[in-house]
Amino acid sequence: MKAYCTLTLEFGSPEQAKKVHLSIQADDQGFVKSTVKGRTLEAIVESTSIASLLHTLDDYLACASVAAEIVKK
């Protein structure tokens, strides 16, 4: 079984979205496909099970949250 989720994260500016994307992009490694469009970061998360998908989402959102806080400063 495959499980998918699309995240759409909107930032205050295109520069913030790009910086967050660059900060967390290294962790994508086959589990996440992410792009930036304007001030929106879109990430498609793919996994082999729902439990694994939830783990990946939790990790991705934690990294995005930390990066977003750093970019704001």
What's residue 49's pLDDT? 94
What's residue 19's pLDDT? 96
25-57 residue pLDDT tens: 987 888 899 999 999 999 999 999 999 999 999
Contacts made by residues 64-71, CB under 8 angstroms, sequence distance 24+? 64/9, 64/20, 64/24, 67/19, 67/20, 67/23, 67/24, 68/9, 68/11, 68/16, 68/20, 70/23, 71/11, 71/16, 71/19, 71/20, 71/23
What's residue 31's pLDDT? 86
What's residue 67's pLDDT? 96
What's residue 24's pLDDT? 92
Mean pLDDT of 5-29: 93
